[in-house]
Amino acid sequence: MTTDNLFLIESERRRHRLSLNGRELFTFSTLEAAEAEANSIASYVVPGSTLRFELDFKWTLSDLEIRAATLRHETNSQASEKEMLSCGS
């Protein structure tokens, strides 16, 4: 079974909110810190994985930027699915 996990980073001037599958996880003061935490979570789920964030939306009137990355992987057992649920999917 293929599982997709969507990581979003919503960036404003001084904060960067990290969400996983629509659930807000953390807020960071730098984009780099938000990306590092997302990669840490992805690496926990799929050891050795690395996310590549791309700019999906930019609104210059409010300095809002949204970046997204998708972690797609195969699960072979119910244990793996339960592990994913505990990570927020």
Nearest to 17 by CA among 63, 61, 65: 65
What pLDDT, in 10s, does the model give residues 7-45? Answer: 999 999 999 999 999 999 999 999 999 999 999 999 998
Please, what sign has the CA dihedral across residues 15, 20, 26, 29?
A: negative
Nearest to 12 by CA among 63, 57, 56: 63
pTM over 0.85: no
Provide the pLDDT for residue 86: 47
